[in-house]
Structure 1
Amino acid sequence: MEASKKVNSQLLSKLATSDQHGENSPYFDGWKAYDKDPFHPTTNPNGVIQMGLAENQLSLDLVEEWIKKNPEASICNAEGVHAFKNTALFQDYHGLPEFRQAVARFMEKARGDKVRFDPDRIVMAGGATGANETLMFCLADPGDGFLVPSPYYPAFNRDLRWRTGVKLVPVTCESSNGFQITKEALEEAYENAEKANIKVKGVILSNPSNPLGTTMDRAALRTLVTFINGKQIHLVCDEIYAATVFRGPRFVGISEVAEEMAELVNLDLIHVACSLSKDMGLPGFRVGIVYSYNDAVVSCARKMSSFGLVSSQTQRLLARMLADEEFTERYLSESRRRLARRHEAFARGVGEVGIGCLESNAGVYCWMDLRGMLKEATAEGEMGLWRVIVNEVKLNVSPGSSFHCGEAGWFRVCFANMDDETLGVALKRIRRFVGGGEAAAVVKRSWQRNLKLSFSAGAVAAPRVMSPHSPMPHSPIPHSPLVRAKN
């Protein structure tokens, strides 16, 4: 086996054989545990439940209903076969005009019609993964750096730096101030990068945040835009979860703030990545979008899009669907309602045994606080707890360390990729594990004996950790995931 690896390393490129893809992470290890022993309510009721996949399946029935009512939108049936030839033949990399127009309009509606998007600035990519990588290729050279909020999406290591050679410079967040951005934290991170001889080309972050499930307020976004404008570096906002904001405050996108500040800042520095993977629950369609205010970036990204185009069949179907204003309005409204209901169900369920979650208003996951269940607030303590949850409780949740979180004991738990019955089983397992009973006692003994971790029914209280029994808040939740690192 080792000899084979050595031969392959000689035959293949350094890029192909490098370990920079990011798969060597608990984030992906949890998926492997699920793949080996997947839960099924009848054929494998004791299997691992997948709570590590940030997928929005709650409103797919609405999409299916639309497809049944509009069979002519597809070329794969008798009603739409008349368009087969034109759709199957060559299309250039600009994309179908009706597709770009429909996507631009959907982006506007997802942002509350507070900003307008130019269809001519819509560039296709293979999902948000392709969109983010395309922007890195356009904006930075190998060795250049981007400041990135921590905790951040584990696959950013793959998406942003594996093939581009770009370096990520994390800025550690703290729960003590609600993971909010400060000008001082940005300056500190920038200076630290310069001391390490890394040329900073920009800041990239997700808003709404993955994994926090929070949105940035207008003041934080203005601070961010002012900072990057002063440094004359780029700002890339991954807004893949824009339409998943399920309660107030409403989502404020970077485009809205950028246009408000247009007379004061260089809009050529502002770029957006988004997709339909989370907003519409269609990750398999691989629809990613680059939107930039920089003409040169739009031109370059469009040329690069040749390597990750959206199929003409998919473009045609989605152009019809997204252009249906009545449908998109109903979908967005119902999706938000269902996400809110599911979020509340999960938060209340874990709250019954004293587990808190970070107060959030978006996304398809909770940032769950298990710090009180650690004997030691270390990465090793967190990993020990995570192994018990995956192997004994049979839940694939993602440890905070895989998101580069600077505080041990936080876990991202996805709640929208399963039906109500499966969520009920997952909550039952959590309650048995934490709340007592014979099953919990068995796990507790194993945990204490093999992992030397203590067992606690409650989590440490922290600022902005909401009680699941509190009323849904509607006051603003100022958030930014870049804060000063704790000494």
Structure 2
Amino acid sequence: MLSKRGAQKAQEPLRPDFELFEKAQANPYAPDNTDGAIPLCIAENLLQWPTLRDKLQSIAAERDWPDWVAAYTELAGAPDFREAVAAFVGRHIAGQQLSADHFCVSAGATAVVEVSAMVLGGPEDYAVFPAPAYQAYAPDLHNKARLRRYDIRHYEQDFGPAFHPLSIKELEAALDHLGDKFRLLILTQPDNPTGAIYSDDQLRSMAKWCTEKEIHLVVNEIYALSQFERGVDGIPNESAYTSFLPLLEEMNSPYLHWWYSFSKDFGISGFRVGLLYTRNEEMRRAYKNFNAPHQVSNITQWLLAELLNDGEWIADFQRRNKRLLTDAYRTVTESLDAIDVAYTPARGSLFVWADFSGFLSEPNMDAAQSLWQQLFEETGVLLTAPGGLGQPDAGWFRIVYSGVSPEALREAMDRLQAFFSDRT
């Protein structure tokens, strides 16, 4: 009845934790349902949604809708929106002026990954990642473009306060193994799931290597503004976040590209708005032609353009975002400290990457899967499923701290702490 690929996809869940996530959603924790489930597995930031909702509602109600929202617009995105995006990204992320013509807009981060893969690689080519890395990169790259994921599992178990990314030696080894099938190197910063960041020197060395080898380097900065307050107890203070964009502009290489989405820093994953920035004109032409079925609705583009043009409101919103994320991160890490669970010291993103390997019955992924499921069944707390991130060691789990209220997060950590305290 279905095509071969359709039949395969019908039996292949996008993520291994969706079944339990749906179960958790059917009985969520609330003030009047304090025994409900608390999912800490989906990378959403809902901490300021009421504030943003009120702002967007006022824009939609009080300002005239332009005529262009009812018609087709450019395949790269509406010009007014790309101008607003260029000003926002330039001011708040890059710290310098950017060209609106170098942006392309698609319906969410997933679409940006998928269309970029269609443009830059072919069937059986590889996108290379430092592992662990976001699990859904694999289907996003493979579903249509048919690229395969290759993880370089390079790190020692304890990241320590300073993150050491891929070395050039490790990249050379991957190139020796994959040959000309090594098409893309993809970095995420702040990282998912570790929360680590790269220094300017680290980014520069990898950008130089990729350009010399004619391999495309994409830096995904979807968590660019999801950072912590510095100088707070428990927060690493060694280095500041450095966006890849100034280096991309400086090097002006056709092999350097940048991704972003409004899903995380603004907590509007349901709006489905992602960005590509590249100086590669040929890539932009190809991207636009693939992008026709991935365009963002014009009313969404107009609404966000009006929001982004209020620069002072955006700055205040992101200052509050930083404070709320810092508080949520500390809620999780203080509970982990209490039960002697190690974790990577994050500098940003929405995650704590924690090592529960000491609680496994056996040092393997089957035991990690069993522990993950048992935790949910006994406490209602759902962490990200252990498979698919490319971690070399069993027992590491990703905890998302921004997708529930502060009260629900504290309840979840109390339950988690009690569950593991009984097993020490």
Q: Assess same fold via TM > 0.5.
A: yes
Query: Could you tell me how far 1:233 is from its partner in structure 2?
Result: 0.9
Matches within 5 A, 1:51-62: 51-62=40-51
Q: How many residues are treated as equivalent by the alignment?
A: 412
**Equivalent pair of 1:15/1:163 in contact (CA under 8 Å):** no
How far apart in 2 are the matches of 1:88 and 1:37? 40
- Structure 2 SS opposite 1:316: helix
Correspondence 1:381 to 2:371: no
What residue in structure 1 maps to residue 77 of structure 2?
A: 95
Q: 1:160 aligns with which of 125, 132, 141?
A: 141
State the alpha-carbon separation in 1 of the partners of residues 66 and 80 from structure 2: 17
Could you tell me whether the CA contact under 8 Å between 1:33 and 1:396 is conserved in 2? Answer: no
1:257 corresponds to which of 247, 253, 261: 247
Is the Cα–Cα contact under 8 Å of residues 374 and 382 in structure 1 kept in the other structure? Answer: yes
| Counterpart check, 1:229 vs 2:211 | yes
Classify the secondary structure of the residue corresponding to 2:370. helix
Partner of 1:66: 55
Residue 339 of structure 1 pairs with residue 325 of structure 2? yes
- Tell me which residue corresponds to 1:448: none
| Conserved? CA contact 1:211–1:366, under 8 Å | yes
User: Amino acid of the residue matched to residue 145 of structure 2?
Assistant: T
The answer for the alignment partner of 2:313 in structure 1 is 327
Distance in 2 (alpha carbons) for counterparts of 1:237 and 1:63: 27
Counterpart position of 1:398? 384
Offset, 1:65: 4.0
Q: Describe the shift of the 1:128–1:25 C-alpha distance in structure 2 as closer, same or farther (beyond 3 A).
A: closer
2:80 counterpart letter in structure 1: E
User: How far 1:349 sits from its partner (Å)?
Assistant: 2.3
Alignment of 1:42 onto 2:36: no
- 1:254/1:416 Cα in 2 relative to 1: closer, same or farther (>3 Å)? same
Question: What's the counterpart of residue 109 of structure 1?
Answer: 91
Alignment-mate amino acid for residue 171 of structure 1: I
Within 5 Å, give how 1:169-248 maps onto structure 2.
169-176=150-157, 178=159, 180-194=165-179, 199-246=181-228, 247=230, 248=237
8 Å Cα contact 1:386/1:399 also seen in 2: yes
Q: Are 2:263 and 1:277 aligned?
A: yes
CA distance in 1, matches of 2:211, 2:401: 38
Distance 1:152 1:42 in 2: 37
Q: Are 1:31 and 2:13 counterparts?
A: no
User: Which residue matches 1:451?
Assistant: none
Q: Distance in 2 between matches of 1:46 and 1:288?
A: 36
The Cα shift of 1:410 comes to 0.6
Opposite residue 191 of structure 1, the aligned amino acid is: D
Displacement of 1:25 after TM fit? 4.5
Q: 1:180–1:86: structure 2 CA closer, same or farther, 3 Å change rule?
A: closer
Q: Distance in 1 between matches of 2:46 and 2:22?
A: 21
Change (3 A) 1:151 1:16: same
- The answer as to whether partners of 2:328 and 2:409 remain within 8 angstroms in 1 is no
Look up the SS of the partner of 1:148 in the other structure: strand
How far did residue 38 of structure 1 move? 3.3
Q: Could you state the TM-score of these two structures normalised by the residue count of structure 1?
A: 0.80
Residue ranges of structure 1 left out of the alignment (5+ in a row): 1-7, 437-454, 457-487
Of 10, 17, 20, 2:7 maps to 17
Q: Say whether 1:313 aligns with 2:299.
A: yes
CA contact (8 A) 2:91 2:97 kept: no
Q: Distance in 2 between matches of 1:286 and 1:315?
A: 10
Higher alpha-carbon deviation: 90-99 or 135-144: 90-99
Native 8 Å contact 2:369 2:386 kept in 1: no
Paired amino acid for 2:18:
F
Distance in 1 (alpha carbons) for counterparts of 2:146 and 2:11: 11
CA drift of 1:49 comes to 0.9
Deviations, residues 185-214 of structure 1 (Å, cap 9, x unaligned): 1112222223xxx71112112121111111
C-alpha displacement of 1:400: 3.7
What amino acid maps onto 2:323 in structure 1? R
The alpha carbon displacement at 1:395 in A equals 1.1
Query: Which residue type is aligned with residue 24 of structure 2?
Result: Y
CA distance in 2, matches of 1:322, 1:229: 33
Separation in 1, partners of 2:158, 2:168: 14
Alignment counterpart, residue 434 of structure 1, candidates 411, 420, 424: 420
1:127-149 deviation per Cα after TM superposition (whole angstroms, max 9, x unaligned): 01001111101111111111122
**Corresponding letter in the other structure for 1:374:** L
Displacement of 1:121 after TM fit?
1.1
Match of 2:97, SS state, is coil
Max Rg structure: 1
- Partner Cα distance (1:110, 1:392) in 2: 43
- 346-355 vs 49-58, greater mean Cα deviation: 346-355
Separation in 1, partners of 2:14, 2:103: 34
User: Contact 2:94–2:245 at 8 Å: present in 1 too?
Assistant: no
Retained in 2: the 8 A contact 1:270–1:292? yes
Contact 1:207–1:237, Cα closer than 8 Å, also in 2: yes
Q: Equivalents in 2 of 1:359, 1:29: separation in Å?
A: 30
* Unpaired runs of at least 5, structure 2: 231-236
SS in 2 for 1:61: helix
Aligned residues of 1:21 and 1:158 also touching (Cα < 8 A) = no
For residues 422 and 193 of structure 1, the distance between their equivalents in structure 2, rounded to whole angstroms, comes to 46
1:24 offset after TM fit, Å? 6.1
The CA RMSD measured in Å over matched residues stands at 2.1
d(CA) in 2 for partners of 1:219, 1:242? 18
CA distance in 2, matches of 1:21, 1:158: 14
Structure-1 residue corresponding to 2:122: 141
Give me the whole-angstrom Cα distance separating, in 2, the residues matched to 1:21 and 1:305. 27
Residue 428 of structure 1 and its aligned partner are, at CA, apart by 1.4
